[in-house]
């Protein structure tokens, strides 16, 4: 069987969709010794990172900018992908474009924010996603949903049959799995290295995510200002590149440090060193940073909305992301945990993340390809 996968999203490093796509192809190709893979990459200026994959695959590139791809495949829906990558039995489409294909089609839906929270997106993204999803509803054999929450949103908003959907959870990246398996001294050394790199001397609350309205970072900053009255030595450290909308840096005050994009090699130490990892997002299809933080021994305090309860399980502390007071109270609760209680919660959270694996995700995705 010949399987095509659109990997264009990998070029957008630092996004959850990029992480998903890269780990999908890395693990699917490593696991699958039977089938042949064609990885399709479409971009005009962006370069594809070197993936160093080993297995039965080839990469086909097309110099097509996203705006042209949107018109060609989402709007007028012409030019079968087989013309660019050869005839395939299955084509797995990306988060952005939905080309027609002679083969059976599979797509992954990460969330349905275009329908449920359109105010948190710009107009262009809404238009593009709705056009794409209309073709998904019409043509796709199987829709992979990254959580039960997302599956429910897909059924409610697209009106597809449940039999055309399957839930396949994302996993913990290799970098964080390796960190999880390190001994205590090695972890302490890595935390110390990262603290020195970013000038973090004392206690800090950590947040990781693209800086855009849906992530509720402005409300987090407001809650943190209240928290500083109780914990004057505490800093708020925000990791993530700017996306769109009003930037949180325009409202920053004392005790808030904005690091921007941080390489994966430095994230594990940041997660471990935080007093609390806070994820205040109003809406997530999955919530990878929660899983990453827990796998590094982080104490997670996060929103009680969307998919986050599936990812955080019983070991996270939850708050209402619409309430600055509740965010303040729950972060304070996490920071105030002491000794054995804090250690046990961290260890249970770390153990919980062993339920999520990109290798398992790959095996279940291969089963979908074979089924269609």
Residues 151 and 7 in one domain: yes
Q: What is the pLDDT of residues 229-274, one digit of tens each?
A: 999 999 999 998 766 666 666 556 678 898 888 988 899 999 999 9
Residues 9 and 88 in one domain: yes
Residues 142 and 107 in one domain: yes
C-alpha–C-alpha distance, residues 314 and 326, integer Å: 18
Residues 274 and 335 in one domain: yes
pLDDT for 243: 65
Q: What is the pLDDT of residues 336-348, one digit of tens each?
A: 998 899 999 999 9
Number of domains in the chain: 2
Residues 281 and 323 in one domain: yes
* Domain span holding position 232: 174-355
Please name the residues in contact with 353: beta carbons below 8 A apart, sequence gap of 6 or more.
172, 180, 291, 294, 295
pLDDT for 33: 92
Residues 96 and 49 in one domain: yes
pTM for the whole structure:
0.93
pLDDT confidence of 209, banded at 50, 70, 90?
confident
Question: Quick check: 158 and 139 in contact, CB under 8 A?
Answer: no
Q: Helices 264-273 and 288-295: crossing angle, nearest 10°?
A: 70
Residues 222 and 120 in one domain: no
Residues 265 and 182 in one domain: yes
Residues 17 and 156 in one domain: yes
Question: Quick check: 256 and 236 in contact, CB under 8 A?
Answer: yes
Least confident stretch, 49-58, 165-174, 193-202, 216-225: 49-58
pLDDT confidence of 20, banded at 50, 70, 90?
very high
Residues 334 and 235 in one domain: yes
CATH (domain of 286): 3.40.50.2000
| Mean of pLDDT values over 60-66 | 89
Residues 222 and 125 in one domain: no
pLDDT for 306: 95
pLDDT confidence of 204, banded at 50, 70, 90?
very high
Residues 155 and 252 in one domain: no
């Amino acid at each position: 069987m010949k399987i095509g996968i659109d990997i264009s999203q990998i070029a957008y490093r630092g996004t959850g969709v990029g992480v998903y796509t890269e780990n999908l192809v890395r693990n699917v190709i490593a696991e699958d010794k039977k089938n042949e893979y064609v990885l399709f990459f479409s971009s005009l200026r962006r370069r594809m990172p070197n993936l160093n994959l080993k297995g039965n695959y080839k990469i086909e590139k097309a110099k097509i900018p996203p705006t042209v791809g949107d018109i060609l495949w989402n709007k007028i829906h012409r030019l079968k992908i087989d013309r660019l990558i050869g005839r395939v039995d299955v084509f797995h489409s990306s988060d952005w474009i939905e080309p027609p294909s002679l083969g059976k089609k599979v797509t992954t839906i990460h969330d349905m924010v275009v329908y449920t929270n359109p105010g948190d997106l710009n107009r262009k993204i809404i238009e593009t996603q709705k056009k794409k999803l209309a073709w998904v509803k019409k043509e796709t054999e199987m829709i992979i949903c990254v959580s039960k929450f997302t599956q429910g949103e897909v059924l409610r908003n697209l009106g597809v049959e449940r039999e055309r959907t399957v839930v396949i959870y994302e996993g913990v990246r290799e970098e964080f799995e390796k960190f999880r398996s390190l001994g205590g001294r090695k972890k302490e050394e890595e935390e110390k290295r990262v603290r020195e790199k970013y000038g973090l001397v004392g206690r800090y609350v950590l947040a990781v995510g693209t800086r855009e309205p849906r992530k509720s970072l402005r409300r987090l900053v407001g809650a943190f200002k209240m928290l500083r009255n109780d914990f004057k030595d505490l800093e708020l450290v925000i990791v993530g590149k700017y996306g769109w909308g009003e930037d949180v840096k325009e409202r920053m005050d004392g005790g808030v440090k904005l690091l921007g994009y941080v390489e994966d090699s430095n994230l594990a130490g940041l997660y471990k060193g935080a007093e609390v990892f806070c994820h205040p997002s109003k809406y997530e299809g999955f919530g990878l940073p929660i899983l990453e933080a827990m796998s590094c021994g982080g104490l997670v305090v996060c929103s009680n909305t969307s998919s986050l309860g599936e990812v955080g399980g019983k070991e996270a502390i939850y708050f209402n992301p619409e309430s600055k007071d509740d965010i303040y109270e729950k972060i304070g609760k996490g920071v105030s945990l002491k000794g054995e209680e804090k250690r046990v919660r961290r260890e249970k959270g770390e153990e919980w993340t062993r339920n999520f694996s990109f290798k398992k995700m790959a095996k279940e995705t291969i089963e979908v390809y074979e089924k269609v």
